[in-house]
Amino acid sequence: MLILAIETSCDDTAVAIYHSQQGLLAHAQYSQIELYNEFGGVVPELASRDHARKLLPLIKHSLKQANKTLSDLNAIAYTSGPGLVGALLTGSAVGSSLAYGLGIPSIGVHHMEGHLLAPMLEAKAAKPPFVALLVSGGHTLLVCVNKIGDYQILGESLDDAAGEAFDKTAKLLGLGYPGGPALSKLAEQGDTSVYKFPRPMTNRPGCDFSFSGLKTFALNTWQKCTQTEQDKANIARAFEDAVVDTMLIKCKRALEQTGFSQLVVAGGVSANKQLRAKLAELMAQREGEVFYPRLEFCTDNAAMIAYAGCQRLLAGQQDSLNINVRPRWPLTELVKITGD
């Protein structure tokens, strides 16, 4: 089955061509980051307009890269939620219209299921059951994955998502957008012994997170110090250590609670080096294994949407050709995949 996939949930326009047996044939992406330099964050209306501009050229480019034509396609997968409504509508409209025009099925994919399954695009992948830590700009979830399509939430952020906390803290330190990579880079110059930030909610049972207090902690620390470049790096370091440690403690709990030995970590924040180093230590101690998507598929991409869409299409699912999006869509409300 040859699938064309479209991802437009936020500020990346992405397209992929995926074959159910041959794997990923092509993927292309256009990031809107430069559009938002002067705003310090995504502007939803600009995002939708830019998706509309970039989508068709990216589709043409990807088909050419895969040496395929529109008539070779057997199905279309597009992100139908969660995300920015206008941005989602652009991808859904193009995806459904193409499917209608070509007379082939289409499926709306859950963006976070895409992230969750992204490591499965690699040769060495986790096999369910496993625990998944999904950490992006919009979500922080610990998920018990019994099998593909069968998800139980073990914990989630009660306020800011991990990536959002990185972005907001970076912004108040005067770093660019998206702040995660910039803050993490600056933290490498920081001294761990200068500031100690709290590890939120780790003294309470359960796997929920709360990150919004850490940015306030960072702001107060910044306002009280001499505001040198070294101070900035020390704060970045203390912030990153606190977020990473908190995630580590909650992952350990989730693994203990489920008794699973495999951990999958995905979403933009899974690119964080410090997080990867600490999780490697944890999983070595537990004699378990940790799996990540390849770096370029940690952040938003269409390859993960193609993979997730393909699993559901192969299981016989498809959506109507109505333009349907779900800007808010809990992972637990996904239709189960029946069979093995």
48, 136, 234, 246: which one contacts ligand KG4 (CB under 6 A)? 136
Contact 315, 337 (CB under 8 A): yes
Determine which helix (DSSP H) or strand (DSSP E) holds 30, and give its type and residue range: strand 23-31
Rounded Cα–Cα distance for residues 171 and 219 (Å): 10
Tell me: does residue 119 bind ligand KG4 (CB under 6 A): no
175, 300, 305, 325: which one contacts ligand KG4 (CB under 6 A)? 300
50, 167, 231, 300: which one contacts Zn ion (CB under 5 A)? 300
Tell me: does residue 217 bind ligand KG4 (CB under 6 A): no
Rounded to a whole number of angstroms, the CA Rg of the chain reads 20
Written as one letter, the residue type at 322 is: N
* Contacts with ligand KG4, 16-35, as mask; x by CB under 6 A: --------------------
Which range, of 34-42, 55-63, 94-102, 132-140, touches ligand KG4 by CB under 6 A? 132-140
Q: How many Cβ atoms from other residues are within 10 Å of residue 123's Cβ?
A: 5
81, 95, 114, 137: which one contacts ligand KG4 (CB under 6 A)? 137
DSSP 3-state of 139: coil
CA distances for 304 relative to 7, 162, 181, 278, angstroms:
9, 20, 21, 25
Question: 30 pairs with which residues across the strands?
Answer: 13
**234 versus 299: smaller Cβ distance to Zn ion:** 299
DSSP 3-state of 144: strand
Residues touching ligand KG4: how many (CB under 6 A)? 19
Q: Where are the alpha helices (DSSP H) in the chain?
A: 44-65, 85-102, 111-117, 162-172, 179-187, 212-224, 229-258, 273-285, 303-314
Rounded Cα–Cα distance for residues 264 and 143 (Å): 10
160, 167, 231, 319: which one contacts ligand KG4 (CB under 6 A)? 167
CB of 253 to ligand KG4, least distance (A): 22
Q: How many Cβ atoms from other residues are within 10 Å of residue 126's Cβ?
A: 21
Contacted by 32, from Zn ion, ligand KG4, none: CB < 5 to 8 Å by type = none
Contact 146, 250 (CB under 8 A): no
Contacted by 166, from Zn ion, ligand KG4, none: CB < 5 to 8 Å by type = ligand KG4
What is the rounded end-to-end Cα distance, in angstroms, of the chain? 19
| Contact set for Zn ion, span 177-206 (CB under 5 A) | none
Tell me: does residue 136 bind Zn ion (CB under 5 A): yes
Sign of CA dihedral 307, 313, 315, 320: positive
**155 versus 268: smaller Cβ distance to Zn ion:** 268
| Contact set for ligand KG4, span 181-210 (CB under 6 A) | 181, 184
Contacted by 176, from Zn ion, ligand KG4, none: CB < 5 to 8 Å by type = none
Two structure tokens written together for 45 = 């209306």
* Ordered strands of the 106-110 beta sheet: 23-31, 12-19, 2-7, 75-81, 106-110
Which range, of 132-140, 183-191, 228-236, 314-322, touches Zn ion by CB under 5 A? 132-140
* Contacts with ligand KG4, 258-297, as mask; x by CB under 6 A: ---------xxx-xx-------------------------
Contacted by 179, from ligand KG4, Zn ion, none: CB < 5 to 8 Å by type = ligand KG4
**52 versus 182: smaller Cβ distance to ligand KG4:** 182
Contacted by 184, from ligand KG4, Zn ion, none: CB < 5 to 8 Å by type = ligand KG4
Q: Measuring CA to CA, which residue among 319, 334, 331, 335 is closest to residue 100?
A: 319
Residues that bind ligand KG4 (CB under 6 A): 10, 136-138, 163, 166-167, 178-181, 184, 267-269, 271-272, 299-300
Residues that bind Zn ion (CB under 5 A): 136, 300
